[in-house]
Structure 1
Amino acid sequence: MEDVRPRKVTRDTPIDDIDRRLLRALSEDARLSNSALAKRVGIAASTCHFRVRRLIDRGVIRGFRLDIAPEALGYGIQAIVAVRLQPTARGQIPRYAAGLVKLPGVLNVYFVAGVDDFQVHVAAASTEDLRNFVEGLSKTREVASTETSLIFEHTVGSAGIV
């Protein structure tokens, strides 16, 4: 994955119709060449390159990712593990989150509001591997509790936000 996040986007980051068309086309196929993208949007290739680079520099485009099917690599089970930290661990949230994303099998980590502190999307090869993952989380002193929900099916939204 190429992560291109240079800075945080603010509400006053202007996005015009051409930018939205570029974003829509890239969300449908992020592998489009610059010339194909320019043709699809109806602008010159040089303008297209400049605008995409500007969207990256302004933090609107955060990255280009490869989406791998976990089951193709032997990870046939996916789950969401809700993690609640101990009240004394509140100051450790950034460090804990940084550690979570490095754990084997972790696909996504969400820091959330509510009863739980994190929702961790994880892939595992077996129920035993999933249990071992959750038990490993539960053994750390920062964790007050975990709750695991198996994912039967995962559908990615196609409408997007552009």
Structure 2
Amino acid sequence: MQPAGNLDHVDRQLLSALSADADVTNKSLAARLGLAESTCAYRVRALREAGIITGTRVQLDLALLGYPLQAIIMVRLGSHTMANVNQLYDSLAATPGVIQAFHVAGADDFYLHVAVENAEALRDFVLQHVTSHRVVRQTETHLVFEVRGGAGVLAAPSDR
């Protein structure tokens, strides 16, 4: 993987533009940044090959898909062996309804961002897929009112 320090201004502009709109065409991206299309395509390919661009994602409207309720489930373990942690992490991340699974430091061990159909489905999710694991000691669930994407690490600093 190429270290971030080896990225030049053009690489960072490409990454910023792709972070804002991963669907942008090479032609449009090249025009926006004042690059030749071949140079733009080469640079993006090089960023992929270096492992800096690891994929693209589609953003879904979860409510329109029938999953209007989102929550963060905080999970605490009773046993912290490497095998228990890895097994649970793999299981939680693979559970349908989990948008993201975070292994965190602090009082909690995992945060799960989930989307479900309704409050009953949320309750069932916690009981069937989280607390059913023998190493889980405690959970705490927080409803998500709204989700907004952040500026990201390549955003221009705001004027203060």
TM over 0.5: yes
1:10 & 1:149 partners in 2: Cα distance? 38
Structure 2 residue runs without a partner (length 5+): 155-160
2:147 & 2:9 partners in 1: Cα distance? 31
2:116 & 2:73 partners in 1: Cα distance? 12
4+ aligned runs moved over 6 Å, structure 1: none
For residue 117 of structure 1, what is the aligned residue in structure 2? 109
SS in 1 for 2:11: helix
SS in 1 for 2:41: helix
Superposition RMSD on alpha carbons, in Å?
1.6
**How much has 1:117 moved relative to structure 2?**
0.9
Q: Aligned in 2, Cα 1:131/1:110: closer, same or farther, shift over 3 Å?
A: same
SS in 1 for 2:15: helix
Query: What TM-score results when the alignment is normalised by the length of structure 2?
Result: 0.89
2:32 & 2:134 partners in 1: Cα distance? 53
For residue 140 of structure 2, what is the aligned residue in structure 1? 147
The residue type paired with residue 65 of structure 1 is R
Q: Which moved more, 1:76-85 or 1:91-100?
A: 91-100
Of 90, 109, 115, 1:98 maps to: 90
1:12-161 aligned within 5 A: 14-136=6-128, 137-157=130-150, 159-161=151-153
Work out the number of aligned pairs and report it: 153
Structure 1 residue runs without a partner (length 5+): 1-8
**How much has 1:50 moved relative to structure 2?**
1.1
The residue type paired with residue 71 of structure 2 is A
1:39 & 1:118 partners in 2: Cα distance? 43
**How much has 1:27 moved relative to structure 2?**
1.6
Identity of aligned residues (%): 42
SS in 1 for 2:149: coil
For residue 157 of structure 2, what is the aligned residue in structure 1? none
Query: What TM-score results when the alignment is normalised by the length of structure 1?
Result: 0.87
1:47 & 1:87 partners in 2: Cα distance? 52
